[in-house]
Amino acid sequence: QAMPKASLADTETVVVPPAAVKRKHQLLPSIPPNRGLLDLIPKKVSIASTSAPLLAVCHTHQRHGILKMQLRLKGKSAAWSNVISCECTVRDHGHTYVVGFVLEHGHGWYDRTQVLTLVPRFLLINALDDHALDVLMDESTSTSATLERHAQLPWHFAHAHHRNTIRIRFAAPGWVWSGALHLHTTGDQTLRLRNTVDRTTYLIRISIKLEGPQYRIVFRSSTNVPPYRIENFSLETIRVHQSRVRISDILLPHQTCEYTWDEPLKPHLLVVDMLPSQADDNSRPIRIGVFSMDDIATFPTKSLAVEVRADGPTRVLRLTDVMTPFPRPPMGKKEPAGWYLLKLHSLSVSLVDSKPSELVYVSWNTVAFQATWTEHMAQLALHVSVHSMQIDNQVRTTRYPVLLNFTDSPALDATIVRETTYTSIEFLRYVNVMLQPMHWRIDGTLINQLAAMFVSPEDVQHNTAPTREDRVRDFDASIVGLLGVPRETTVSKKLYFEKFELAPIQASLSFATSSSSTTASSSNTYTTNAVQVAGVRQILQAAGKTLTKIHNAPLHWRALRWQHMFVPRETMLNQMSLHYQHEAYRQAYVLLGSVDVLGNPVKVWHNLRGGLESFVWEPLRGWQE
């Protein structure tokens, strides 16, 4: 089901004349005035109930085995839409309804059935605890719809020429419409709402996430970390406003204010002007400059000194007098209020299958864990170091008795410094992880036995005679689809990294298949798990025929470094995954060149280069001595 676009009441036929546009704005930007008394009357529309069927569906080319679906509003004489795709447009008397679909397999007994679920393209969710929101539907008539607290609203644009943007305000007197917000821009952003009666402002957090074909727009309360802050440490009165925006803020001497962009779709540039110091002075304001808040830099001007710095996840624009230096925070190190140190001489873990037979032995030597914290746990520092680490292959017939070992010590060294004063975000001041160069020697026999160990017959056992209750439960779980996603009640904290470093990873890889890996599949010991690990064994056998042996393939992953990065947890993990995937694809030729079936050209090149170096440099070194 999809929500229809609500229309205005039949009784409202008031035609609002177009507003006159000034050719030149006034000298001091201010809040735009209302058009008249008609603009003060809120125009609300009601959204239809979701219980009634709203769409009619037809299909074509059923005889040819191709299913093409088209939609139109049920009970109306509107034309059929285009053939359904990821974004289907239904038109009816000048109105446009955008509908998406989710095509996925069912659950349990219906895992071979593909379920098609129609969903609205946009879904607005109000997660605020104490405010209802008005969403502007049509700017020409100021028609709006109300989104109550902890409510959801399927959203459709009234006309096709709309740019998929909305404006919001609190459903209370005095609040004016915010800047335009583009619904196709995923991520988190902060929007400022203004009240013209008491001159108060409110920073609201908006999260836009694409789940399948549906954009979910969640409105949440602002955190204690604003995106920007303006500090006037001078003796002058400052006026700031966004470029090409009339709304401005006045800062008196030694006054600060939290700031965000009033119009997110306009240039993110801040215009700073210095106002006359006396009230009866009618001279023009002095333009200090136009600054970008995203770049950390210092801008020495003639009248004031301007600096953009980072205070955690907040960008700070600081203005001081030219003769006054920038106030710098003290660089003294905070004395720890407490510490904890744990040292383990050795730690080992063995992996044993059901025979029983030991397969893997993992050992760590000289493991140290240290934690220090300041007063009131304002800062917590964790340090972990492992002097040496080794993984042994305990299979008796293996050609590689050592699966993993490091060439130097400490094998692992990690440091994390976390600030606990921020309650709404995870503030990580410093993260550093370093791994020494390592050697991987993988035997196909071990992989085969590990697959047989972790895949049990109970994991793939299928009940051929399900009960009626099982079928009903699987059917209900299959038809829910994207509509059954629970509402977002908990707020996921964003991560801020002041400095994040993952050291380069160097590894040499060797791989070989053993004759026992092919004979183990026919032994009586693993006959019970032959079905479960058949796919894994086929892959290993295919790899054994083509990649008979890989000898010391040198692999290198470049370092990953971030500074002043403020992202959600999912985005951080995605960027890390993309980084290491790209590094792996970049050196795939090294892995292919280390295959013995091709003569191992990488090994030949290393031997040739070493021979040339010895042939040239050894005589020179002997002559110098």
DSSP 189-217: EEEEEEBTTT--EEEEEEEEEEETTEEEE
247 and 184, same structural domain?
Answer: no
Say if residue 412 is in the same domain as residue 512. Answer: yes
Three-state secondary structure call for residue 457: helix
CA distance 35 to 564: 44
Terminal CA-CA length for the chain: 87
Determine the average pLDDT of the residues in 246-254: 92
- The confidence band for 587, taking pLDDT boundaries of 50, 70 and 90, is confident
Per-residue confidence (pLDDT) for residue 329, from 0 to 100: 56
Residues 108 and 166 in one domain: yes
Question: Span 572-576, mean pLDDT?
Answer: 92
User: What is residue 213's predicted lDDT score, i.e. its pLDDT?
Assistant: 84
Count other Cβ atoms within 10 Å, centred on residue 128. 20
442 closest CA partner among 538, 348, 517, 363: 517
195, 280: one domain: no
pLDDT at position 24 over 70 = no
Q: Read off the pLDDT of each residue in 438-466 and give the average, rounded to a whole number.
A: 75
Same-domain pairing of 251 and 202 = no
Task: Spell out the residues 6+ positions from residue 405 whose beta carbon is closer than 8 angstroms to its own.
Answer: 389, 390, 391, 438, 439
Q: pLDDT by residue (tens digit) across 349-385?
A: 999 988 888 999 999 999 999 999 998 888 999 999 9
Where would I find the beta strands (DSSP E) of 488-602?
Answer: 494-502, 505-512, 549-557, 560-567
Split at pLDDT 50, 70, 90, the class of 133 is very high
Rounded Cα distance, 286 and 276, in Å: 8
Amino acid at 218: V
Same-domain status, 424 and 548:
yes
User: For residues 328 and 242, is the Cβ–Cβ distance under 8 A?
Assistant: no
Asked whether residue 30 carries a pLDDT value surpassing 60, the answer given is no
pLDDT of residue 504: 96
For the stretch 525-566, pLDDT in tens is 444 444 445 555 566 555 555 556 777 888 899 999 999 888
Contact 246, 29 (CB under 8 A): yes
495 and 523 share a domain? yes
State residue 521's pLDDT score.
43
pLDDT of residue 370: 96
Question: How do residues 309-338 score in pLDDT, each as one tens digit?
Answer: 988 889 999 999 876 665 555 555 567 889
Give mean pLDDT, residues 103-107: 81
Residue 517: domain span: 338-457+487-594
Domain assignment present for 192: yes
Percentage of the chain surpassing pLDDT 70? 68
Assess if residue 19 is contained within a domain: no
Total domains present in the chain: 3
* 537: enclosing H helix or E strand: helix 534-546
Structural domain includes residue 611: no
Q: Say if 437 falls within a structural domain.
A: yes
Whether residue 206 contacts residue 166, with contact meaning beta carbons closer than 8 Å, is answered with no
Distances 401 to 359, 392, 405, 451, 547 between C-alpha atoms, Å = 11, 6, 11, 19, 20
> For residue 550, what pLDDT is reported?
79
Assigned domain for 204 exists: yes
**C-alpha span between 525 and 439 (Å, rounded):** 32
Confidence of residue 6 (pLDDT cuts 50, 70, 90): very low
- Based on the fold, state whether residues 153 and 62 are members of the same structural domain: yes
Place of tokens 């080319």: 61
- What does R_g of the chain's alpha carbons equal in angstroms? 33
Pairing of strands 248-251, 238-242: antiparallel
**Domain assignment present for 100:** yes
Last residue of a domain, one of 221, 236, 259: 221
Rounded to the nearest 10°, the torsion over CA 580, 586, 589, 595 is -10
Q: Per mean pLDDT, which of 3-7, 354-358, 400-404, 487-491 is the most reliable? A: 400-404
Q: Dihedrals φ, ψ of 363, to 5°?
A: -135, 140
Do 138 and 217 have their domain in common?
yes
Choosing from 178, 200, 221, the residue where a domain stops is: 221
- 3-state DSSP assignment of residue 144: strand
- Choice among 45-59, 137-151, 185-199 with the minimum mean pLDDT: 45-59
In the three-class reduction of DSSP (H, G, I as helix; E, B as strand; rest coil), residue 110 is classed as: helix
pLDDT band at 48 (very low <50, low <70, confident <90, very high): very low
| Residue 16 lies inside a defined structural domain of this protein | no
Whether 252 and 194 share a structural domain: no
Distance, in Å, from the CA atom of 371 to the CA atom of 340, rounded to the nearest integer, reads 5
pLDDT greater than 60 at residue 53? no
Residues 345 and 316 occupy one common structural domain: no
* CA angle (124, 125, 129) in 5-degree steps: 145
So what's the pLDDT on residue 3? Answer: 43
Complete DSSP assignment for 303-364: SEEEEEEEETTEEEEEEEETTSPPPPPP-PPPPPSEEEEEEEEEEEEEEE-SSS-EEEEEEE
Residue 135 and residue 157 share a domain: yes
Going by C-alpha positions, the residue among 50, 52, 45 that lies closest to residue 6 is: 45
Contact 481, 117 (CB under 8 A): yes
- CA torsion 188-194-198-202 (nearest 10°) is 0
Is residue 150 in a domain?
yes
In whole angstroms, what is the distance from residue 338 CA to residue 377 CA?
Answer: 9
CB of 167 closer than 8 Å to CB of 191: no
Return the sign of the alpha-carbon dihedral for residues 280, 283, 288, 293. positive
Task: List the single range of 15-19, 283-287, 573-577 with lowest mean pLDDT.
Answer: 15-19
| Angle made by CA atoms 409, 412, 413, in degrees to the nearest 5 | 100
- The domain boundary, picked from 179, 194, 221, lies at 221
Residue 100: phi and psi, rounded to 5, are -110, 175
CA distances from 183 to 53, 121, 147, 166, 611 (A): 26, 10, 16, 8, 62
CA-CA distance, 57 to 75, in Å (whole number)?
A: 12
Confidence band (pLDDT; 50, 70, 90) for 471? Answer: confident
φ, ψ dihedrals at 536, nearest 5°: -65, -40
